[in-house]
Amino acid sequence: MGYSLKNKKILITCGPTWVPIDAVRVVSNVSSGALGQRIALDCARSGAKVTLLEGPVTVPLSSRSMRILKFRFFGELQKLLQQELRKNVDAVIHAAAVADYKLKKPVRHKLSSEKKTLRLEFVATPKLIRTIKRLKPTAFLVGFKFEPVISRKLVHQKTRDLFRQADCDVVVANQLTARGYKGFIVDKHNAIATGAADRRQVSKTLVRILSEQL
Protein backbone atom coordinates (compact mmCIF):
# COMPACT_ATOMS: atom_id res chain seq x y z
CA MET A 1 0.00 0.00 0.00
CA GLY A 2 2.90 2.34 0.65
CA TYR A 3 1.47 3.92 3.82
CA SER A 4 2.93 3.32 7.28
CA LEU A 5 1.03 2.99 10.55
CA LYS A 6 3.97 1.37 12.31
CA ASN A 7 3.30 0.87 16.02
CA LYS A 8 0.14 3.01 15.95
CA LYS A 9 -2.51 1.59 18.27
CA ILE A 10 -5.82 1.33 16.43
CA LEU A 11 -9.09 0.10 17.92
CA ILE A 12 -11.67 -1.15 15.40
CA THR A 13 -15.24 -2.36 15.92
CA CYS A 14 -17.15 -4.37 13.34
CA GLY A 15 -20.25 -6.46 12.76
CA PRO A 16 -23.80 -6.34 14.11
CA THR A 17 -24.85 -6.11 17.76
CA TRP A 18 -27.64 -8.19 19.24
CA VAL A 19 -30.25 -7.10 21.76
CA PRO A 20 -32.26 -9.81 23.54
CA ILE A 21 -36.00 -10.36 23.23
CA ASP A 22 -36.15 -13.38 25.51
CA ALA A 23 -33.87 -16.22 26.60
CA VAL A 24 -33.36 -17.49 23.03
CA ARG A 25 -34.43 -14.73 20.62
CA VAL A 26 -32.59 -11.56 19.60
CA VAL A 27 -32.97 -8.52 17.37
CA SER A 28 -30.06 -7.98 15.01
CA ASN A 29 -29.25 -6.29 11.69
CA VAL A 30 -27.83 -7.26 8.30
CA SER A 31 -24.23 -6.09 8.82
CA SER A 32 -21.70 -8.70 7.66
CA GLY A 33 -18.70 -7.04 9.32
CA ALA A 34 -16.73 -7.36 6.05
CA LEU A 35 -15.68 -3.71 5.78
CA GLY A 36 -14.42 -3.48 9.37
CA GLN A 37 -12.50 -6.73 8.93
CA ARG A 38 -10.85 -5.46 5.73
CA ILE A 39 -9.86 -2.20 7.42
CA ALA A 40 -8.41 -4.15 10.36
CA LEU A 41 -6.32 -6.32 8.04
CA ASP A 42 -5.09 -3.36 5.99
CA CYS A 43 -4.14 -1.42 9.13
CA ALA A 44 -2.25 -4.44 10.47
CA ARG A 45 -0.42 -4.88 7.14
CA SER A 46 0.63 -1.22 7.40
CA GLY A 47 2.29 -1.89 10.76
CA ALA A 48 -0.46 -0.87 13.20
CA LYS A 49 -1.10 -2.66 16.46
CA VAL A 50 -4.76 -3.49 15.91
CA THR A 51 -7.40 -4.52 18.40
CA LEU A 52 -10.59 -5.68 16.69
CA LEU A 53 -13.87 -5.87 18.59
CA GLU A 54 -15.80 -8.29 16.39
CA GLY A 55 -19.53 -8.94 16.67
CA PRO A 56 -21.51 -11.97 15.43
CA VAL A 57 -20.30 -11.52 11.86
CA THR A 58 -21.06 -13.63 8.79
CA VAL A 59 -17.51 -15.04 8.62
CA PRO A 60 -15.37 -14.54 11.76
CA LEU A 61 -11.87 -13.21 11.14
CA SER A 62 -8.88 -15.32 12.05
CA SER A 63 -5.57 -13.45 12.08
CA ARG A 64 -2.37 -13.63 14.11
CA SER A 65 -1.52 -10.06 13.13
CA MET A 66 -4.02 -8.50 15.53
CA ARG A 67 -5.83 -8.95 18.82
CA ILE A 68 -9.48 -10.00 18.31
CA LEU A 69 -12.07 -9.71 21.08
CA LYS A 70 -15.53 -11.12 20.45
CA PHE A 71 -18.91 -9.71 21.45
CA ARG A 72 -22.51 -10.51 20.58
CA PHE A 73 -24.76 -8.22 22.59
CA PHE A 74 -24.91 -4.42 22.81
CA GLY A 75 -23.93 -4.48 26.47
CA GLU A 76 -20.85 -6.58 25.73
CA LEU A 77 -19.64 -4.12 23.09
CA GLN A 78 -20.29 -1.20 25.44
CA LYS A 79 -18.20 -2.84 28.16
CA LEU A 80 -15.36 -3.75 25.78
CA LEU A 81 -15.20 -0.22 24.38
CA GLN A 82 -14.94 1.29 27.85
CA GLN A 83 -12.26 -1.25 28.76
CA GLU A 84 -10.13 -0.67 25.66
CA LEU A 85 -10.42 3.13 25.74
CA ARG A 86 -8.70 3.15 29.13
CA LYS A 87 -5.55 2.07 27.28
CA ASN A 88 -3.32 3.98 24.86
CA VAL A 89 -5.23 4.35 21.60
CA ASP A 90 -4.21 6.51 18.64
CA ALA A 91 -7.32 5.97 16.53
CA VAL A 92 -10.78 4.41 16.80
CA ILE A 93 -12.57 3.11 13.72
CA HIS A 94 -16.14 2.48 14.85
CA ALA A 95 -17.49 0.38 11.98
CA ALA A 96 -19.85 -1.82 14.03
CA ALA A 97 -23.54 -1.61 13.20
CA VAL A 98 -24.70 -0.85 16.73
CA ALA A 99 -28.28 -1.57 17.76
CA ASP A 100 -30.28 1.67 18.00
CA TYR A 101 -33.04 0.15 20.14
CA LYS A 102 -33.40 -2.47 22.84
CA LEU A 103 -36.40 -4.11 24.46
CA LYS A 104 -37.65 -2.08 27.42
CA LYS A 105 -38.14 -5.24 29.47
CA PRO A 106 -36.38 -8.31 28.02
CA VAL A 107 -38.00 -11.58 29.05
CA ARG A 108 -35.78 -13.95 31.03
CA HIS A 109 -37.59 -17.09 29.90
CA LYS A 110 -38.54 -18.25 26.39
CA LEU A 111 -41.74 -16.65 25.11
CA SER A 112 -44.34 -19.12 23.93
CA SER A 113 -44.59 -19.53 20.16
CA GLU A 114 -48.33 -20.23 20.60
CA LYS A 115 -49.10 -16.53 21.06
CA LYS A 116 -51.24 -15.15 18.23
CA THR A 117 -49.81 -11.65 18.65
CA LEU A 118 -46.79 -10.27 20.42
CA ARG A 119 -46.33 -6.63 21.42
CA LEU A 120 -42.80 -5.48 22.17
CA GLU A 121 -41.83 -2.05 23.49
CA PHE A 122 -38.41 -0.75 22.53
CA VAL A 123 -36.37 2.14 23.91
CA ALA A 124 -33.32 3.86 22.42
CA THR A 125 -29.86 2.56 23.32
CA PRO A 126 -27.06 4.97 24.31
CA LYS A 127 -25.07 6.22 21.30
CA LEU A 128 -21.72 4.53 21.92
CA ILE A 129 -19.89 6.66 19.37
CA ARG A 130 -20.70 9.79 21.38
CA THR A 131 -18.78 8.38 24.35
CA ILE A 132 -15.54 7.66 22.49
CA LYS A 133 -14.06 11.17 22.39
CA ARG A 134 -15.21 11.79 25.96
CA LEU A 135 -13.26 8.74 27.10
CA LYS A 136 -10.31 9.25 24.73
CA PRO A 137 -10.29 12.88 23.50
CA THR A 138 -6.92 12.56 21.75
CA ALA A 139 -7.95 9.63 19.54
CA PHE A 140 -8.60 10.14 15.83
CA LEU A 141 -12.20 8.99 15.38
CA VAL A 142 -13.70 7.44 12.26
CA GLY A 143 -17.48 7.05 12.30
CA PHE A 144 -19.78 5.24 9.88
CA LYS A 145 -23.19 6.15 8.54
CA PHE A 146 -25.11 3.45 6.69
CA GLU A 147 -28.00 4.67 4.55
CA PRO A 148 -30.42 2.97 2.12
CA VAL A 149 -29.47 5.67 -0.41
CA ILE A 150 -26.36 7.83 -0.36
CA SER A 151 -24.94 10.24 -2.93
CA ARG A 152 -22.41 13.04 -3.16
CA LYS A 153 -25.28 15.51 -2.72
CA LEU A 154 -26.66 13.75 0.38
CA VAL A 155 -23.42 12.91 2.16
CA HIS A 156 -23.03 16.18 4.10
CA GLN A 157 -26.63 16.15 5.27
CA LYS A 158 -26.41 12.52 6.40
CA THR A 159 -23.11 12.89 8.28
CA ARG A 160 -23.70 16.27 9.96
CA ASP A 161 -24.92 14.87 13.28
CA LEU A 162 -21.96 12.49 13.67
CA PHE A 163 -19.51 15.37 13.37
CA ARG A 164 -21.49 17.59 15.73
CA GLN A 165 -22.55 15.08 18.37
CA ALA A 166 -19.69 12.56 18.33
CA ASP A 167 -16.81 14.88 17.30
CA CYS A 168 -15.73 12.52 14.52
CA ASP A 169 -12.66 13.45 12.51
CA VAL A 170 -13.80 11.47 9.47
CA VAL A 171 -17.08 9.74 8.57
CA VAL A 172 -17.67 6.97 6.04
CA ALA A 173 -21.17 7.23 4.56
CA ASN A 174 -22.12 4.11 2.63
CA GLN A 175 -24.88 2.01 1.13
CA LEU A 176 -25.24 -1.57 -0.06
CA THR A 177 -27.86 -2.50 -2.63
CA ALA A 178 -28.42 -5.21 -5.21
CA ARG A 179 -26.38 -3.06 -7.60
CA GLY A 180 -23.39 -3.10 -5.27
CA TYR A 181 -21.51 -1.01 -2.71
CA LYS A 182 -21.06 2.75 -2.66
CA GLY A 183 -19.18 4.80 -0.07
CA PHE A 184 -17.98 8.33 0.58
CA ILE A 185 -15.33 9.44 3.07
CA VAL A 186 -15.88 12.98 4.33
CA ASP A 187 -13.94 15.04 6.87
CA LYS A 188 -15.17 17.63 9.39
CA HIS A 189 -14.47 20.42 6.89
CA ASN A 190 -16.96 18.84 4.44
CA ALA A 191 -14.20 17.76 2.09
CA ILE A 192 -14.87 14.41 0.41
CA ALA A 193 -11.70 12.32 0.35
CA THR A 194 -13.12 9.67 -1.96
CA GLY A 195 -16.22 8.32 -3.59
CA ALA A 196 -15.63 4.56 -3.55
CA ALA A 197 -17.29 1.78 -5.50
CA ASP A 198 -15.98 -1.00 -3.27
CA ARG A 199 -14.85 -1.71 0.29
CA ARG A 200 -11.23 -2.17 -0.77
CA GLN A 201 -11.01 1.43 -1.93
CA VAL A 202 -12.62 2.74 1.28
CA SER A 203 -10.17 0.76 3.38
CA LYS A 204 -7.14 1.85 1.34
CA THR A 205 -8.17 5.51 1.61
CA LEU A 206 -8.70 5.27 5.38
CA VAL A 207 -5.22 3.80 5.82
CA ARG A 208 -3.80 6.72 3.83
CA ILE A 209 -5.70 9.27 5.91
CA LEU A 210 -4.60 7.66 9.17
CA SER A 211 -0.96 7.55 8.04
CA GLU A 212 -1.15 11.29 7.32
CA GLN A 213 -2.91 12.22 10.58
CA LEU A 214 -1.27 10.01 13.22
Mean pLDDT (the chain, rounded): 91
Q: Domain spans of the chain? A: 9-107+117-213
Per-residue pLDDT band at 10 (split at 50, 70, 90): very high
The answer to whether 13 and 56 have CB atoms below 8 angstroms apart is no
pLDDT of residue 74: 97
Residue 204: left (phi > 0), alpha (psi -120 to 50), or beta?
A: alpha
Per-residue pLDDT band at 85 (split at 50, 70, 90): very high
> Nearest CA to 170 among 200, 198, 202?
202
> Nearest CA to 175 among 13, 17, 48, 35?
35
Just give the CATH number of 9-107+117-213: 3.40.50.10300
C-alpha pair distances (Å), 14 with each of 34, 78, 114, 136, 206? 8, 13, 36, 19, 15
pLDDT over 70, % of the chain: 95
Per-residue pLDDT band at 20 (split at 50, 70, 90): very high
pLDDT of residue 147: 77
Give pLDDT tens digits for 101-134.
Answer: 999 988 899 999 888 898 999 999 999 999 999 9
